Amino acid sequence: MATPNTPKKSTLRSAASDLVEAASSLGKAAASKAEKAKVEASAALTQAKKDVTAGSSEVRKKITASVNRTERRIEKAATSAKEAAQRTIGTVEKKARAVKDQAERKLIHAEQTASQRMKQAGGTIAKEMSAAKVAVKEKANAVAKSIKSATVQAKTKAAGARTDAARDAAAAKRAAAATKNAPANKPK
């Protein structure tokens, strides 16, 4: 039995709690998406590294250095994306808690006055929840796009390096064949 000092539980409070949970789960999904993209990029770089190791040692060293730099950039981008997602999650959770606290205050006041004011507070929470979901979704999409872009750049660089290595190897073979087939000048 509720007394005047102890408010009853309501759908408004549960909606505010659901908002906090939704923001948290969206943030976790964004971090998971960023981690998955990082793993895919690393796998592509590893494959490119294996393909290149068949080339000459000098070209292999240059390509390996390029691949290592790219891997570091991808790791840095993934870490940055995770941090950005965590900051966004924290911001959304703070806003959700503030909205929840505000909604609870409004609820107590609305319970004392009329049900119409309670409907208005519910509408405010719904708007805030929609805005929070949109913000988290946009941030997650931006993070995924950034990581995909880094992956494409890494693949392009690796393909260019393989082409350069193949060209250098062919030139070296031609030079070796020309030296081998050239008549030797013997002193008389």
Task: Quick: pLDDT tens for 147-161.
Answer: 788 788 878 887 887
Look at residue 115 in the predicted model and tell me its pLDDT: 63
CB-count burial class (<10 Å; 0-12, 13-18, 19+) for 33: middle
CA distances from 168 to 157, 163, 171, 172 (A): 16, 9, 5, 6
d(C-alpha 98, C-alpha 102), whole Å: 6
Residue 1, pLDDT > 50, answer no
Mean pLDDT of the chain: 76
Query: For residues 90 and 58, which has the higher predicted lDDT (pLDDT)?
Result: 90
d(C-alpha 149, C-alpha 68), whole Å: 17
Give start and end residues of each alpha helix (H) in 53-114: 57-112
Look at residue 52 in the predicted model and tell me its pLDDT: 65
Look at residue 64 in the predicted model and tell me its pLDDT: 78
Q: What is the pTM of this model?
A: 0.33
Look at residue 170 in the predicted model and tell me its pLDDT: 83
- What is the arithmetic mean of pLDDT over 128-144? 83
CA angle at 46 for the pair 33 and 146, rounded to the nearest 5°: 35
CA gyration radius, the chain: 30
Evaluate whether 145 touches 83 at the Cβ level (below 8 Å): no
